[in-house]
Structure 1
């Protein structure tokens, strides 16, 4: 069998393994299948290439350009995922594990591509929060903006998800406009190398946007500066060693860590045998123990059940684990493959022995189990192992020792507060789950355990058909956790992009803020267009283009006709004496929605044109009542423009209604879809 040479991609060149290369063995057979590593990589040149070539190219693109790039990359990988599946079997993973890794990674890229188009501007500046008025008149304002870091992101990934682990970091990094140097774990780097080759060969990425280190990083971290980011997934021991690097400390290099986690799952007191919740709990725990052979940072390590249900949990879980076929991951009948390496197998057995000092193994014997289609002695196979801790309050190792494999410990709790205390003894986790249908139990756990866990996952018969599972980080939600889990956050939608951007407070006049953020700020210069703005296409409209309408007087007949037509006969509109007793009104007043209708009549252009649809309004406020005899007028200003596709884009209009005294009576933002100019 030929041995694969796993290359690095540095400064635009593929570099084969060299001095310092190490062998990689198949998790199935124990035979050497690849070599990776090269101590001669010029890490400074790689950093310079990323900063001087990749960074400027990415920053020249808008967020929407980068989002389209991510979508194209995800689509390209999706066309070649069968090759990624085939390359992954020697990691010990079965086909369903590959789908979590490969399809999950591709799906994450698609989500960030979508969020980039929907939630970020078609520019290079992201506005973080609303404008703050810093002076009395509004001529001096402040706002927070986020711009791309002008450095490089170094991604150090774990062995268990060679594709997803890379893509879930890479997607927000590229969307932020920052180049990345990816360093996968050596044991599975041959899968990552294939994914990187596919992306680079697609021609979608600009030069310098992505580089790969297959093997060790050398002294790369010693060359990082204030604009760089390190994002790490792995053990707490390694994270501490890396983040303690003097250069990282001295230069305040951002360090995002996702590390060891003693995740727990609580069986609610209402989830007794015979209920859908009990069955769901057993299914979730079994799946988390055996998916990826338990090599998941989110896997359930501690099973926390009511003391009266511990035996039932052990019995039901053991019966389900009996059905798990361990074997060659290439076989369709296999339900759990091997650990990634012989070294990982030794580590898991050593950690299981430590747990065994405080707990009794009640299922799974590593010295006596069956492996289908493979040699259990040559491959890195272990069986699922279930322990029972009878005294979890006085135990320590079951709460601080993670056997990174199919190993979990059952323990009993007296009441919900006790369950919370036990799940928190892990000193910080990525996820804790609660299987309950009792909202009061869910709230009690959330209030007591929320501060100790990055994610709380609640499930029951009502949500289980759509739920994604205890162990599934989603790109929409934060993935990370406090304390032992590393104190970092990844994913979480646009929150994940912010790790690779600098938040800056800007202060100045309305015109200055409008120019920087490419969003019109009230008080800045208004532009008079050459024609009614509703007759102008998306690309013709300018930020700040304004229409000032004529006035319209509101009559008592208007108010009464609107009330009778709509059925809104609220007393403030119909009973003068009752309205006067209300501290907000001088007497009968016009309906707020009547004012909005009149406003539309004042600014609308009724003929067919580029305005395709009114899609809603945001931030509506009524500031001053309007009585019969008052008049209103409208100022309509183009606040922001966001392309949506090749045919049209969203225009956000700032709308202000004023009375005859030029006092604001209402304010809101109108959203329309406007066509582009025909070619």
Structure 2
């Protein structure tokens, strides 16, 4: 790839997308290219009406809330595909932020991948509804006529997402995806330094026409009086420095209205080399590689980047030499070049601020690497934001404060020696709360001890060794399925985490009612509620014909000794309580009892409708509990009731189906409950 000259001295004026149209602010801040210092964009939100934008989002949000989780998931998937087709347009601007192709991949395709991920997990784990029923029904009275359950509904406000400069695409999309699935519209405010890349992506999103109007608004520039107009149903998420987070979180309107504020702040993340690891072992090489990767990816400008490198005292020299050798091979320069491994920081100002922090750290640490100025393969040392990888060494880290307090937001780490796992954990905890820590060791007992020393102060702990390395995503990579956040200095918030991330934008409400009314509210049958019985067996009804509460009470069946013996021979289960008369008499049962799975099998035979029909297959069994034992001569019967219906999307050429959850109760001759469970069946439905 050739090196671009970026000769233009003109800058594009960015627009914000508010109230369904693109609008420009007056004046503006000039943003420059990270490698050459050439003008890129003029950014301003001065004069824009944020109060009106928030009102618009709340009003338009009604249309979004009328869609179901599955409909939103389908829109996310379509949007992800649309953005993927245009990703090269985003890479063109990503280079100007100082990101190499590898850096841009994490930001651009990582962000798009989060849309795909949330689309899949929503269709897999959430119902095709506009609300979410959480947990089991709680029985609140002796006879069961008064019950309760939790229901989550979308908040009727706007999710305001304030993002840092280092991930202008992923930072927006990883917040937008769960809030959109929850049914809450977003108002995104990216950091000014890289807002031009976020604006390019939002342009593509709006042009796609996939999302309901008002689902996404964009502010390019300062937040102005935005916080003054927030209301109780709104939500704020913030990524950035801990100092800025404290300032915003204590805004008078945030405090007065108790507006939810989720913080993901930069933190002093650590990596610990286990005492069992020696030079020459795979884990030693993995450790050094991980440190270098975290220093050079995004030029160390990641909230999850390693800042403190904690190693056994007798391995400090070996680690420092290995870091020096590997870092000497890192090439700096124009991020568009294929032979450049590390690009510049976002701008010269950010580089200068990082250098100041390094100088402050040197009061309690020795500079091992970073004095020199390597050759650049394109770019400008003065006008750009280039900085050499820097390694410091703190001889007495337990007595020092600066390495545990000051963060150099760039390619900078501080090496710290330790003796014993307790000291290693203490050093890691000195960061006062971090997003992530890594443990590098193949000794499981050592990993276990270190993990429990680190866990209370970290939102995520990565264990890296020869077994996990081939597929590990690495120290600095938050994943949609797992929580991203951390306690203390890291902000005390949570993002992502699968369905957990969606629930942050929903109101959890406890419902108390009789079983029938609760079922009417949730759309699910509640044990003890009214059932619907007619002459048509529920298994003879299609998915569309079936009603929640449709029920069938079977005939009775007496369990015999022959049943138990035959089931034992068929299954191979010869447990003494079923076949040994003497041992069973001395057991907790006092007699021989039937196998639990025999009861489930007999019940299935009693409630099934054997002829071909709309029920196509058994899809699974859940929540099985055996309540009372059933012995020889006891008589059982079963009731099966349609509990919940889940419509499945049909792929081209597939038979349209849905999944029906059935509540099953097996009782004995005394009407005592002996077993309860849920079965799922695949049922034919009408074509779309």
Q: What TM-score comes out, normalization by structure 1 length? A: 0.98
TM-superposed CA distance for 1:607, in Å, is 2.1
CA deviation string 1:44-90 (max 9, x = no partner): 1100000011x101110111111111111111111111111111110
Distance 1:41 1:163 in 2: 23
CA contact (8 A) 1:389 1:409 kept: yes
State which of 661, 664, 682 in structure 2 corresponds to 1:655.
664
TM superposition shift of 1:530: 5.3
1:488 is displaced (CA, Å) by: 0.5
Distance (Å, rounded) in 1 between the aligned partners of 2:93 and 2:353? 25
Quick check: 1:350 aligned with 2:359? no
> 325-334 vs 612-621, which deviates more?
612-621
In 1: Cα distance, 2:402 partner to 2:49 partner? 43
- The correspondence for 1:335, drawn from 328, 331, 341, is 341
Q: Is the CA contact 1:329–1:336 (under 8 Å) kept in the aligned structure 2? A: yes
Q: Which residue of structure 2 aligns with residue 674 of structure 1?
A: 683
* Residues in 2 aligned to 1:246 and 1:261: alpha-carbon distance in whole angstroms: 26
Query: Shift in Å at residue 636 of structure 1?
Result: 0.7
Indicate conservation of the 8 Å contact 1:109/1:171, yes or no. yes
Deviation track 1:571-603 (CA, whole Å, cap 9, x = no partner) reads 1111122112112x1311111111111111111
Do the aligned partners of 2:176 and 2:186 also contact (CA within 8 Å) in 1?
A: yes
Partner of 2:265: 259
Partner of 1:361: 367
- Counterpart of 1:296 (choices 294, 297, 302) is 302
Rounded to whole Å, the distance in 1 between the matches of 2:170 and 2:70 is 23
How many Å separate the matches in 1 of 2:86 and 2:682? Answer: 36
1:644 paired residue number: 648
- Match for residue 17 of structure 2 among 3, 9, 12: 9
Tell me how far apart the structure 2 counterparts of residues 233 and 645 of structure 1 sit (CA, whole Å): 36
Q: How far off its partner does 1:247 sit? A: 0.5
Q: Contact conserved, 1:370 with 1:376, CA < 8 A, in 2?
A: no
Structure-1 residue corresponding to 2:237: 231
1:432 maps to 2:437? yes
> Are the counterparts in 1 of residues 533 and 550 from structure 2 also a CA contact under 8 Å?
yes
Aligned to 2:144: 138
The offset of 1:678, in angstroms, is 4.3
1:280-319 superposed matches below 5 A:
280-319=286-325
The residue number in structure 2 matching 1:580 is 585
Give me the whole-angstrom Cα distance separating, in 2, the residues matched to 1:573 and 1:345: 75
2:562 to 553, 557, 561: 557
Determine if the alignment matches structure 1 residue 490 to structure 2 residue 499.
no
What is the distance in 1 between the residues matched to 2:280 and 2:390?
A: 25
SS in 2 for 1:433: strand
Which 10-residue stretch deviates more, 29-38 or 155-164? Answer: 29-38
In the superposition, the TM-score normalised over structure 2's length comes to 0.97
**Correspondence list, 1:361-380, <5 A:** 361-365=367-371, 368-380=373-385
Q: Secondary structure at the match of 2:435?
A: coil
Q: CA deviation at 1:644?
A: 2.2
Residue in 1 that maps onto 2:573: 568
Select 2:617's aligned residue among 584, 598, 613: 613
Contact 1:433/1:470, CA 8 A, preserved across alignment: yes
Aligned residues of 2:348 and 2:382 also touching (Cα < 8 A) = no
Does 1:216 find its partner at 2:222?
A: yes
- Within the candidate set 28, 32, 37, 1:30 is matched to 37
Output the CA distance in 2 between the equivalents of 1:78 and 1:523: 50
Kept in 1: contact 2:19–2:56 (CA 8 A): yes
Q: Aligned partners of 1:253, 1:678: CA distance in 2, in Å? A: 44
User: What is the deviation of 1:460?
Assistant: 0.6
Contact persistence 1:547–1:637 (CA under 8 A): yes
Aligned equivalent of 1:413: 418
* Partners of 1:539 and 1:337 in 2: CA distance: 58
Residue ranges of structure 1 left out of the alignment (5+ in a row): none
User: d(CA) in 2 for partners of 1:114 and 1:529?
Assistant: 38
Whole-Å Cα distance in 1 between the matches of residues 532 and 70 of structure 2?
26
Q: Tell me by how many angstroms 1:19 deviates.
A: 1.9
Distance 1:183 1:254 in 2: 17
**Per-residue deviation at 1:605?**
1.6
Q: How many angstroms does 1:439 deviate by?
A: 1.6
Question: Quick one: distance in 2 between partners of 1:220 and 1:290?
Answer: 36
Match of 1:203 in 2: 209
Alignment partners' CA distance in 1, 2:534 and 2:106: 53
Report the counterpart of residue 122 of structure 1 in structure 2: 128
The number of residues matched between the two structures is: 675
Equivalent residues of 2:266, 2:304 under 8 A apart? no
Q: Aligned pair 1:19/2:23, yes or no?
A: no
Give the Cα separation in 2 of the matches to 1:82 and 1:481: 33
Asked if residue 188 in structure 1 is aligned to residue 194 in structure 2, the reply is yes
Residue 626 (1) aligns with residue 630 (2):
yes
Counterparts of 2:686 and 2:610 in 1: how far apart (Å)?
A: 19
Deviations 1:550-580 (A, max 9, x none): 1111111111111122221111111122112
Confirm or deny: 8 A CA contact 1:388 1:409 kept in the other structure: yes
Deviation readout 1:637-669 (Å, 9 max, x if unpaired): 111111222222221111111112211111101
Is 2:251 aligned against 1:245? yes
Deviation at 1:407, TM superposition (A): 0.3
Distance 1:529 1:6, change over 3 A: farther
Contact 2:283-2:440 at 8 Å conserved across structures: yes
1:48 aligns with 2:52: no
* Cα deviation code 1:252-291 (max 9, x no counterpart): 0100001120000000111111111111001111000000
Partner secondary structure for residue 524 of structure 1: coil
**566-575 or 379-388, larger mean C-alpha shift:** 566-575
Equivalent residue, structure 1, for 2:653: none
Corresponding residue to 1:473 among 475, 478, 488: 478
TM-superposition CA deviations, 1:108-160 (whole Å, max 9, x none): 11111111111111112212221111110100011111111111111000000
- Mapped to 2, the partners of 1:526 and 1:330 lie a distance apart of 67
Residue of 420, 427, 432 corresponding to 1:422:
427
Q: What is the CA-CA distance between 1:676 and the residue it aligns to?
A: 1.4
In the other structure, the counterpart of 1:604 is 608
SS at match of 2:485: strand
Alpha-carbon distance, 1:442 to partner: 1.6
Identify which of 119, 122, 125 aligns with 1:113: 119
The CA deviation at 1:3 is: 2.0
